[in-house]
Structures are given as structure tokens and as C-alpha cells.
Amino acid sequence: MNEMIPPKAERSAALKGLGTSRKRVEDARFTQGKGNFIDDLKLPGMLFGDFVRSPYPHAYVKSINTDAALAVPGVVAVLTAADLEPLGLHWMPTLAGDKQMVLADGKVLFQGQEVAFVVASDRYVAADAVELVEVDYEELPALVDPFKAEIKGAPILREDIADNLEGAHGARRHPNHIFTWESGEKEQTEAAIGEAEIVAEEMIYYHRTHPCPLETCGAVASMDKVNGKLTLHGTFQAPHAVRTVASLISGIAEHNIRVISPDIGGGFGNKVGVYPGYVCSIVASIVTGKPVKWIEDRIENLTSTAFARDYWMQGKISATKEGKITGLWCHTTADHGAFDACADPTKFPAGFMNICTGSYDIPTAYLCVDGIYTNKAPGGVAYRCSFRVTEAAYFIERMIEMLAIKLKMDAAELRRINFIKKEQFPYQSALGWEYDSGDYHTAWEKALEAVNYTELRKEQTQRLEDFKAGATRSLMGIGLCHFTEIVGAGPVKNCDILGLGMFDSCEIRIHPTGSAIARLGTISQGQGHATTFAQILASEIGIPADDITLEEGDTDTAPYGLGTYGSRSTPVAGAATAMAGRKIRAKAQMIAAYLLEVHDDDVEWDVDRFAVKGAPERFKTMKEIAFASYSQEIPGVEPGLEAVSYYDPPNMTYPFGAYICVMDINVDTGIADIRTFYALDDCGTRINPMIIEGQVHGGLTEAFAISMGQELAYDDMGNVKTGSLMDFFIPTSWETPNYITDFTTTPSPHHPIGAKGVGESPNVGGVPAFSNAVHDAFRSFGLTQSHMPHDHWRIWKIANDLGLHDK
């Protein structure tokens, strides 16, 4: 009998559970062009909406004449703020406690702002009619530089709240000031820095950029006037939150709203927010009684839906002569654009910027962030980032380099001296976080060894000599980065968005024949949830991942959750999945024990079955148990096999990594060739190594883009300079470097399966590694800080400013 039971390893492999590089189940449709994205949706009688947008960054709207547009055959309506006002929808709340104009209400505050919404029979007619809407503007001076926001005579942007000295996050000191947010010990930190032997001080700018997902934002709103139900399909990273917000602002009862996120072609934070396009398509559908589609084009995406970063971070870091850090101080000027539409947990107006002590044991720290309005598009979203972690990681990893320069010390050694030690976890950071786990020294040594760090430094020294001797025009830069992330928002006690706790959920139904469906409150935008969450479940409940359907994104069927961003899906919904799986298993145990005629405690779990302790030949497989749960009466146990779990994480998770970038820089052309990029990630338990690798490659490529060329640039007048992919840098495979990936595994102690999340790590850690490499190449010539992006001309300028070009 015994020999008939396949060995554990074999049964375990058949599940394709945790640790398996299972092929992505999504790819069958994506690689065949058979995905179902928002613009694939066509409903009978569907109309198409398109925006009239402001060409000016700041202007009064004196009048809007829609006559000519309305006269175009096929035009059904042209909505302006005046039409939305009676419904109270000309403004809408933002996720950051501010409000935002849906359509220009008397003035416009950024170039590309939505002024009127044309609804027509097709998108060609709509585009023609947009041209015919006559808007009379009175131009106003634009505020572009956040440091000029509070000077005398600065234009006042938000006249609607100019006199309101109390904002969503406390006192406002000027009409263009949004909030001041402080964290840590000011006096103590300033004292530590004042007394310190060594202090490095620098202004570090993490420039404005944009998530620029392949698929832009869009929606199809469909109001069924017969049953009063609104169905809203759209590019939503948080469909449930959208339903609640839609209900609150429209007054439509929440049970009458169904939000559906279809396949999403990348989000990266850009699809977290609520946009005027969504609201206008809903209103247009209510007004016309027909479905209304709105899809952004690329220029609209780059110039009007959520940007990322734009943090000016003034830093001071102090240390002893030996290099032990004694304090960290940071003042950030955050350019939020015209409306505060950041997508951060409510209590964190600067997101998790206060993770800026990074991987280091820093005894005291202080952070102050000032949010400022400017005449730029709103946003400030987490672009593959957990709420400003990228800014924080860039800040600390630049400050460490600056400190190393002051100390005349090797930057790898300086990190080593200051890392939080393995035995210090759980570690209480000076800015209030409890780091759950980590082993930084092990990762660091592994990384340095992998790239042969000592040899690299020797080669660099030689290169420098050759350069000085005129034998080469190329310098070598070694970019180091050890980052610590804070992801998985988050514990309901301190994390909510618009009052909605940031838990997440999973509901599982096991079918009679032993296959299953699981539904989650999250929504994949390319992360491969249908693949990985089925793997978590396979390991928990012993049903092969291939037999588990995974569904997300339909609020009528999926359990409530806060969606996917901030690398929260695995830490929160992944945990919910495991916990729901455990509930299934607990019930299955009772059923198995009953079927095997033993006490519940006398059976034990064995990969895909329960077996009688000490008698492994007496077992019931999950398949058998599932069938029994539907087919026979089991005393004291309800029929069926289902479970739901709403998981409120006890803490955040803290993935970390050690990245090293080696580049050769031609000082004459400003061209940087990435020779090596080594990325070691520790994301705790590894669910699907292949997907992790893919995530790391993708995130590193974004990091490469951001650090080496990508920016959302405005000129002095407030015009967008990089509004198309001709100028907004998206690398092709040609520019993209090769990556070497590696890992260590330090499971999260509080996550049910020890997983921490990995999607964002490469963006967070990649940017400092690339940027530090550029800086490192010029370190011996006295460079301290040069702002990103490091495109050809900015690198050239570094060399030029340092006198490296013959005049």
C-alpha cells in the first residue's frame, strides 16, 4: 500500500506551490494579443468623451462657448463646470484630503487641465468638436519653482482655499502652502549634528517623473436607467475604493455601483487616483443614458494624470571620525502641483518618507516635509514605490555617499559600519518604524564579493591614472546601494485611505471535484497575481495551482480590499490568501478525521492530504475531502468548503537589497555605458523565482530610465517640455542594461508565509545605484552632488564644470 503513495517531493512538485518558477498563466492571452483591456471594451450604443484642455499653466477662464462644438453632427453634449455644479461634481475630493476641479471652475492651474468634456458618437467626432470649443482665457503668471511659492508677490494658485489656514494635515502658513509634516526629534538631532566631528550637508533633488504605463488611463461608465445600476469599467488599481468614493461623491448607493478593473496594462501608481475622466464619463452616462468611454492619449497621460517624485531634500548627516553615524536631518520641499492628489495613507502626507534612515542604525533623526502648490499637474503617486520610499532611499543613499566623501572613506565600508545588525531586529528606527527583520551584512558581503569589489576599485584607480595621463577619456563609476523598503500598507491602526483601512482580503471556494476559485481585493496590472496567489494557495491547501482560478477586480464578486500599489498585494492580500487557505485546511481536517474515523487531532497534514498520524497509508486527499464536503452529511460541520479572510497586517514588511552598478562614462559625450548591474534582493520567502526575476528586471529598467534620462520637465513659464515619448525617456531593449540577479532569504516573522513583496524594490534601489555610479566616477575630481536625470548633457556638464574638457 505504502509504495502506492507518491513521495512527498513528487506530490509537492505537482502542486506548483511556493518556490516554483511556474509559468505565468496570464501570458497565454497577453502574448497572443487576447487580453481584455479597457479600450477593448465596446458596449452597444457607446459614446466617446474627450477633453478640452488648458494650453495655459495658470489663467482665469472668462467664458466657454460650446455652440460650434455642439453643432458638429454626432456631438451629444459638451459638459463644463457649470453643468457639473448642480450635481456637486465640478470638484471632487482627492485621496490626500484636498479637492480637485473636475472641470475648470473659473480658472485653470496647470497646462493640460480639463476644461470641458465633449461627448460624441465616436472618438473622431469628439476630437473634432474639442477643437471647436471656444475658451476665453485671461493668462496669469505661473508659479513653477516651489521655492518661490511663498515670496512676496507670488501668484496665489488656490483662491478657493486661500483663506483657509487649516488644511487636511494641519496648519497652512501661506495660500500656496499645503502642509508641514514632521517626524522625529528636531532638537536632539540638531544637537547631535551640531556637536558632531563630521557633517555632510547637501540638497538632493529627486526630479519629477511619471509612471507612464504602457496602457494609459481610461474608463467606460454605463448607467442603466432601468435598474438604477452604474457599472464603471476602468483602469483602477483600487476598484473597491473607487466604488466607495464614487458612491460618496455621486450619492448613488454603493450596492448600485459595480466597478470592474479589466486587464490593466501597467499601473505603477498612475492608476491609483481618481481622475476627472472617470467622473465625467459617469456624469455623461447618467445624462445621456448611454455607455460613455474615455481613454487618455499619451500626451494626456504624461501631462495630466498622476506624476511621481518631485522632492527637494535638504539633508545633513553627522558622524564620528571613525564613521559611526550620529544623526540625520532632512527638510523636504515637496512640489505637489495644483491640487494635493497624492495617494498616501491619510496619516502620512509625505508617505513613508520617514523610512529615510534606510538600512542604518541612526540614533537620532528629524524629518520635516513642506507640501507646496505649483502650476503643475497634480499627483505625487508612488511610482512603483511604497509612498515616497523611493525618495527616502535615494536621499539616504546619496547622503551616505556624501558622508563617505567627507570621511575620505570607502562608501562600502561606511555602510558596513552603520548597518543595523542582524541581532538588532526587530529594530526600532529613530523615525518610528519597527523593522521586522533583516540581515544586511550577509547580503552586502555577498554582493561585494559577487562583483569582485576590491578588484573593481583597483581597476578604477588605474583608469583614473590613465585618464589623468591622457590615455583615455573614459571614467569608471561604481554605484553602491543598500536599500530598505517599507511595504505592505498596512496595519489598519495607522494606515487608511479616505478612512478605509488598508487591510486586504481573499475568498476561496473549493469546488466538489477538488478544484477552486479564489477572489482577492487586489488587482494585477502585470504582476502575475493569478499565477503567484494560486501558488500560495496550492501550498496551503494541497490543490495544484493549475486547478485554482484566481479572480480580481470585480467589486460585485471580489471581497473588499484596498487594491494593488505600494507592493502591498503579497504582504497583505497574499497573507489573506494564506489565512483563508488555513481556514479551509482546518475544516478539511475535521472532515478528514471524520472520514478516517479518528479524532481531529489524530490526523496530520501531508502536502495534499490528511493522513492518520503514524499510519500514512490511511489518508484522505484534498480532492476526496472536497467531494465529501459536498456529498455527505458530516455531523457538526456545515456542507461546502469555503473560506474568507480579511487580513489586517500586524506590521509592514521590510524587504531589502544590495545593488551594485558599474559604468564607464565618456566625459566628452556624456554617454554612460552600464557594464554591470548586480541586484541582490531579499524579499523574504520567494513565491515564484521567475516572477521575482521578471519584476526585478522591469523595476531596474524603470530605475535606469528615471536616473539616466526620464523626467517630466517644465519650462519657466509652466509649459510641459517632455509631453511625449519623443522626449520622455522610455528605454528600448537596446539601451537597457543586462542585469545579474541574486538573493538572500530573510522571511518576515509576522507574515503567514514569510513573504515581503518585491515588485518595487528594484525601482527603489536601482535609482540610487545608477546615480551613485555617475557620482562615483567623478568623486576624485571633487563632485559631491549633481541632480538627476543623468542624461548625456547633464553628465557632460559635470565634466565641463569640473574642468575636464579642454577649452
Partner 1 sequence: MIPAAFNYHRPDTIEGAVKLINEFGDEARVVAGGHSLIPMMKLRMTGLSHLVDLQGIGGLKGISVDGDTITIGAMTTQHELIVHKQLSSRAPIIAEAALQIADPQVRYVGTIGGNVANGDPGNDMPGLMQCLDAIYSLQGPSGQRSVPARTFYEAAYFTEREEDEILTSISFQATGGGYAYEKQKRKIGDYATAAAGVLIEKDGDKCSAASIALTNLADTPIYCEAAVAALVGTALDPGDVGAAVKAAVDASDPSEDNRGPIEFKKHIAGVVIRCAIERAIERA
Binding site for partner 1 (CB under 8 A): 123-124, 127-128, 131, 297-299, 668-671, 709, 713, 721-722, 726-727, 729, 731-732, 734-735, 791-793, 796-797, 800, 805
How many CB atoms lie under 10 A from the CB of residue 368? 17
Question: What b/e sequence results for 733-764 when a residue is b if at least 16 CB atoms lie within 10 Å of its CB, and e otherwise?
Answer: eeeebebebbbbebbbebbbbbbbbbbbbbbb
The sheet with strand 603-605 has its strands ordered as 603-605, 609-612, 615-621
229-234 and 257-260 beta bridge pairing: parallel
**Cβ contact 381:306 at 8 Å:** yes
> 126 vs 157, which CB is nearer to partner 1?
126
Q: How far apart are CA 32 and CA 281, in angstroms?
A: 30
> 428 vs 724, which CB is nearer to partner 1?
724
- Cβ of residue 52: shortest distance to partner 1, in angstroms? 13
DSSP 140-209: ------GGGTTSTTPPP--GGGTT--EETTEE-SSTTEEEEEEEE-HHHHHHHHHH-SEEEEEEEEEEEE
What would the grid cell of residue 529 be? Answer: 497575481
> 573 vs 799, which CB is nearer to partner 1?
799
The number of CA neighbours under 13 Å toward the Cβ of 91 is 15
In the block, cell 498563466 appears at: 25
- Cβ of residue 554: shortest distance to partner 1, in angstroms? 30
- Cβ of residue 270: shortest distance to partner 1, in angstroms? 18
What would the grid cell of residue 660 be? Answer: 551594485
Where in the sequence numbering do the catalytic residues fall?
237, 384-385, 760
- Cβ of residue 336: shortest distance to partner 1, in angstroms? 24
Task: Kindly calculate the radius of gyration of the chain based on its CA atoms and give it in whole angstroms.
Answer: 28
- Phi and psi for 219 in degrees, rounded to 5? -155, 155
> 62 vs 721, which CB is nearer to partner 1?
721
Q: How far apart are CA 432 and CA 132, in angstroms?
A: 55
H or E element that contains 767: helix 761-777
- Cβ of residue 51: shortest distance to partner 1, in angstroms? 12
The length of the chain is: 807
> 319 vs 774, which CB is nearer to partner 1?
774
Q: How far apart are CA 353 and CA 322, in angstroms?
A: 28
- Cβ of residue 81: shortest distance to partner 1, in angstroms? 24
**Cβ contact 15:539 at 8 Å:** yes
CA 443 to chain CA centroid, Å, is 24
> 737 vs 757, which CB is nearer to partner 1?
737
Alpha-carbon distances of 692 from 263, 676, 707, 747, rounded to whole Å: 20, 19, 22, 15
Tell me which residue of 420, 503, 439 sits closest to 747, measured CA to CA.
Answer: 439
The number of CA neighbours under 13 Å toward the Cβ of 245 is 27
In the block, cell 509537492 appears at: 12
- Cβ of residue 355: shortest distance to partner 1, in angstroms? 32
656-666 and 642-647 beta bridge pairing: unpaired
∠ CA(788), CA(310), CA(242), 5° rounding? 135
In sequence order, the 6+-apart residues with CB closer than 8 A to the CB of 667 are: 473, 474, 475, 795, 796, 799, 804, 805
> 235 vs 346, which CB is nearer to partner 1?
235
> 47 vs 367, which CB is nearer to partner 1?
47
> 296 vs 397, which CB is nearer to partner 1?
296
> 124 vs 147, which CB is nearer to partner 1?
124
How buried is 10 (Cβ within 10 angstroms: 0-12 exposed, 13-18 middle, 19+ buried)? Answer: exposed
- Cβ of residue 555: shortest distance to partner 1, in angstroms? 31
